[in-house]
Amino acid sequence: MIALIDYGAGNLTSVRKALAHLGAAVTTPHAPADLASAGGIIVPGVGNFGVTAALGPDWRTAIRSHIDHQRPLLGICVGMQWLFDGSEEAPGHSGLELLAGTCRLLAEEESVDGQRGTTRFKVPHVGWNSLHLTKRSWLLDGVAEGDQVYFTHSFAAPVTTDCVGATQYGVAFAAAVERDYVGGVQFHPEKSSDVGLRILTNFLRKVT
In the predicted model, is pLDDT for residue 91 greater than 90? Answer: yes
pLDDT in tens, 125-178: 999 999 999 999 999 999 999 999 999 999 999 999 999 999 999 999 999 999
Residues 152 and 126: beta-carbon distance below 8 Å: yes
The pTM score is 0.93
- CATH number of the domain within which 181 lies: 3.40.50.880
% of the chain at pLDDT higher than 70: 94
Catalytic, out of 77, 89, 103, 153? 77
Average pLDDT on 185-205 reads: 98
pLDDT in tens, 22-40: 999 999 999 999 999 999 9
Where in the sequence is the domain holding 67, given as residue range(s)? 2-206
Mean pLDDT of the chain: 93
Catalytic, out of 66, 125, 153, 188? 188
Average pLDDT on 67-76 reads: 97
Is the N-terminal amide bond of 72 cis, ω within 30° of 0?
Answer: no
In the predicted model, is pLDDT for residue 112 greater than 60? Answer: no
pLDDT at 120: 73
Specify whether 30 is catalytic: no
How many domains in the chain? Answer: 1
Query: Which amino acid is residue 204, in one-letter code?
Result: L
Beta-strand (E) ranges in 37-170? Answer: 40-43, 73-76, 86-87, 102-105, 109-113, 117-120, 125-130, 132-133, 148-153, 155-156, 163-169
pLDDT at 150: 98
In the predicted model, is pLDDT for residue 78 greater than 80? Answer: yes
Specify whether 190 is catalytic: yes
